[in-house]
Amino acid sequence: MASAILANMKEEVTCPICLELLVEPLSIDCGHSFCQACITANYESMIAKEMESRCPVCRIGYQLENLRPNRHVANIVEKINEIKLSSEEGQKQEHCARHGEKLLLFCKEDGKVICWLCERSQEHRGHHTFLMEEVAQEYQEKLQSALNNLMTKQEEAEKLKAGIQQEITSWKNQLQKERQNIQAEFKHLKDILDSEEQDELQKLEEEKGHILKSMEESKHELIQQSQVIQNHISDLENCLQRPTIEMLQDVNDIIYRTETFTLKKPKTFPEKERKSFQIHELKRTMQMFQVHVTLTPSNNQNIVVSENKRQVMYVHYHQRLNLFSLSDDHGFRYGTRQNYFDGILGCPSITSGKHYWEVDVSGKSAWILGVYGPPLLQTTTSFAYEQVSKYRPINGYWVIGLQIQYISFEENAISLTPIVPPSRIGVFIDYEAGIVSFFSVTQHKFLIYKFSACSFSKEVFPYFNPMHCPKPMTICELSC
């Protein structure tokens, strides 16, 4: 039906002179249309014979100046030519380029659509060939499976990319915090630590550059892999939308490329592979100011001081009574009975300069240590209030401690979050600068806390409080 309509249309726009589709059609006075070249040649022929120019169809006379372009017919001719070109192209696709036979078979080995003559050729002899209709569904399913697989990989790549971005942000935040920590530590020690500060900051910057560069490279690699996956997805989607013949052309190659694609997971930089900031140089510098600290005798019934005056421990009163007679054997001195529980001071007293000592608190579940100096104004408080708020700078205490959690005893207690629980703590005091700093000096070395702008007007002393934990606090021997 469609071909009959097309034939009728072609007949209507065929030139009566050359019997081809009209080219640049012109209409004459009677309404018939001709190719511009054909009607012009007809007119010139008539004039040459000294004859009146007449329509080649109806023989009605016409004048050359009355010829006019027929744009409507020209548009119809253009559409017919497009249909004709499309039809010819379709026939080309459906026929073998080598033999001209219709493409009906599919060769599995070569992944190509072939004709019956191709099947008998040397090139395809012995291969497994099938009718296109028999394998179309199979390869559609393979293509769809490959597409689904790539979609899954694309989702995984996006998740990995988001994870990398989150890790980059986390690293930036962590490194920024560590930068601030390093800057704070070196600032506390002022000019003495300036050179060490710059060295450590430089190391951190280099590490930051290395880590972030590695992360950015991983992110860039993921972006590139995502683009490759997207390209494969586009190829598969386009392939699935084509006619069966086009879909099956080179289908094995497309499937092979998509199925063999492997998503490479990005290289990360686990935190355990790097070392946190170490303060070996700081410790050596602070040891320049080390002092030999010993404990003063105590009147507290619950406080026990070792014979060498470098270890203090808490003992319950009833336990003290049971052990009192064994003090000589154990090397501990016991104080006389009192009605309160408190800490103990160390000596020598400090009235100027910089001083440093270390205390071992490993195994203890509670302790307080730092510096104590008599306050300028003596305050009178109740016993209950004193137990809660006594350890404050206003009362002469610049101390930190462990009581369920790590605390800095400022005017309002500040909760501390050390990287790891400190087992050996270094205490540094700069009397003139009004600074008291606390460092973890075991395997993980870091600043725990610092008091600044401390008001020292009198002598101050090292302070030790074992709390109610029976494990001892020990003043460490410092190596020179």
Decide if 428 is inside a domain: yes
Are residues 366 and 457 located together in one domain of the fold? yes
Decide if 225 is inside a domain: yes
pLDDT tens, residue by residue, 9-33: 788 888 999 888 889 999 988 889 9
pLDDT of 382 strictly over 50: no
Determine the longest span between alpha carbons in the chain, in angstroms: 157
Whole-prediction pTM: 0.43
Decide if 155 is inside a domain: no
Query: Cα–Cα distance between 96 and 148 in angstroms, integer?
Result: 33
Are residues 298 and 410 located together in one domain of the fold? yes
Are residues 260 and 294 located together in one domain of the fold? no
Helix or strand (DSSP H, E) at 286: helix 280-286
Are residues 304 and 261 located together in one domain of the fold? no
- Tokens at residue 213, please? 């560069």
pLDDT given for residue 216 in this prediction? 87
CA 31 to chain CA mean position, Å: 76
Are residues 53 and 181 located together in one domain of the fold? no
Q: What is the rounded average pLDDT of the residues 200-207?
A: 83
- Among residues 10, 44, 69, the one where a domain terminates is 69
Give φ, ψ of 429 to 5 degrees. -130, 130
Decide if 114 is inside a domain: no
Are residues 406 and 425 located together in one domain of the fold? yes
Are residues 61 and 195 located together in one domain of the fold? no
Are residues 312 and 228 located together in one domain of the fold? no
pLDDT tens, residue by residue, 107-119: 988 888 998 888 8
pLDDT given for residue 397 in this prediction? 92
Are residues 1 and 54 located together in one domain of the fold? yes
In sequence order, what are the residues at sequence separation of 6 or more whose Cβ sits closer than 8 angstroms to the Cβ of residue 81? 21
Decide if 156 is inside a domain: no
pLDDT given for residue 384 in this prediction? 42
Are residues 305 and 240 located together in one domain of the fold? no
Are residues 269 and 288 located together in one domain of the fold? no
* Domain CATH code at residue 399: 2.60.120.920
Are residues 189 and 289 located together in one domain of the fold? no
How many structural domains compose the chain? 3
Residues 359/475, Cβ–Cβ less than 8 Å: yes
Q: What is the rounded average pLDDT of the residues 452-460?
A: 89
Task: Report residue 267's pLDDT band, with 50, 70 and 90 as the boundaries.
Answer: confident
272 DSSP assignment? G
Residues 9/21, Cβ–Cβ less than 8 Å: no
Decide if 63 is inside a domain: yes
pLDDT tens, residue by residue, 287-341: 788 899 999 987 777 888 999 999 999 887 655 444 433 333 334 444 433 332 4
* Domain CATH code at residue 43: 3.30.40.10
- Among residues 69, 94, 110, the one where a domain terminates is 69
Decide if 255 is inside a domain: yes
Q: Which domain holds residue 372?
A: 282-316+341-376+390-475
- Among residues 39, 69, 99, the one where a domain terminates is 69
Decide if 129 is inside a domain: no
